[in-house]
């Protein structure tokens, strides 16, 4: 089992960019499916573990592939059950994130926390277009409510036009750090890192975690510029495929956050 999982690159010993992680190993031959049924069993040390034909799945570092919540474990098992004749890790974002959390983030939680927090100093929502007028208005429409929410939580961020870096007030970063501290498990940090990386915005990631917006709304807010350009010039097929894959990771990360909120 371990050799198969290692070949699949379903986890790493450190937290990596989720888009690059999703693409890892895609040029390798995919292994054949070797099991009939994926199910959930209770772990020996608590929680719920994915089992393939009754045998518990383990991460590449030999830890049980388990989570604290049955519903989340069932969603992971569903990824395995949905595989066809070949096992394709690109279609298993939950499995990859849980592997990353168990094998990497558990031993480096503070480092991952600091990495996520750094996004607060250069949050996407703080860098506004100065033209055209339609894009300026659209950014304001979709971004301002989240910045207003952050401000209500003590994180009043400074805005800038273009790409010129703007230094954020220390008290705003401290307020964001306080919010981020609410999410202290390796799985939560992995999910927040994924969402922050995919959206470029820690404010959006925290808003999603706090239930301050629907996932579709936050995903749209993260792609204001891209969607504006698509409306003007049309959509590129390869770019659309890439975005769809990123959205799968986004939705999987949101599912992890929901499981912890329940």
- Tens digit of pLDDT for each residue in 118-151? 999 999 999 999 999 999 999 999 999 999 999 9
Whole-number pLDDT of residue 19: 39
Give the number of C-alpha atoms closer than 13 A to the C-alpha of residue 93, restricted to the C-beta side.
22
Output the six-digit token pair for 236.
Answer: 């590129």
Output the six-digit token pair for 109.
Answer: 């939680």
- CA dihedral for 114, 116, 120, 123, sign (positive or negative): positive
**What's the start-to-end Cα distance of the chain, in Å?**
32
CA distances from 14 to 28, 100, 133 (A): 21, 7, 42
List pLDDT tens digits, range 74-118.
999 999 999 999 999 999 999 999 999 999 999 999 999 999 999
Compute, in degrees rounded to 10, the torsion defined by CA atoms 40, 2, 259, 224: -130
Output the six-digit token pair for 48.
Answer: 């719920």
Give the pLDDT mean for 53-75: 95
Record the pTM.
0.89
pLDDT at 7 over 70: no
Helix orientation angle between 186-199 and 237-261, rounded to the nearest 10 degrees: 150
């Amino acid at each position: 089992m371990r050799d198969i999982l290692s070949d699949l690159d379903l986890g790493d010993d450190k937290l990596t960019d989720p888009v690059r992680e999703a693409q890892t190993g895609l040029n390798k031959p995919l292994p054949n499916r070797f099991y009939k049924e994926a199910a959930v069993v209770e772990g020996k040390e608590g929680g719920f573990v994915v089992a393939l034909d009754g045998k518990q799945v383990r991460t590449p570092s030999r830890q049980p592939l388990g989570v604290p919540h049955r519903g989340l474990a069932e969603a992971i098992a569903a990824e395995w059950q949905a595989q066809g004749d070949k096992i394709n890790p690109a279609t298993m974002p939950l499995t990859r994130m849980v592997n990353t959390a168990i094998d990497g983030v558990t031993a480096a939680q503070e480092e991952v926390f600091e990495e996520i927090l750094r996004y607060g100093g250069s949050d996407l929502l703080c860098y506004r277009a100065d033209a055209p007028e339609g894009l300026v208005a659209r950014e304001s429409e979709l971004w301002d409510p989240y910045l207003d929410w952050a401000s209500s939580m003590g994180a009043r961020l400074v805005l800038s036009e273009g790409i010129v870096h703007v230094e954020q007030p220390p008290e705003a970063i401290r307020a964001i750090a306080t919010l981020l501290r609410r999410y202290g498990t390796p799985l939560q940090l992995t999910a927040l890192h994924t969402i922050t990386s995919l959206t470029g915005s820690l404010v959006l990631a925290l808003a999603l975690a706090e239930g301050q917006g629907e996932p579709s709304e936050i995903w749209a807010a993260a792609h204001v510029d891209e969607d504006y350009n698509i409306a003007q010039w049309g959509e590129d097929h390869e770019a659309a495929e890439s975005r769809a894959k990123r959205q799968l990771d986004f939705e999987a990360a949101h599912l992890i956050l929901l499981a912890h909120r329940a």
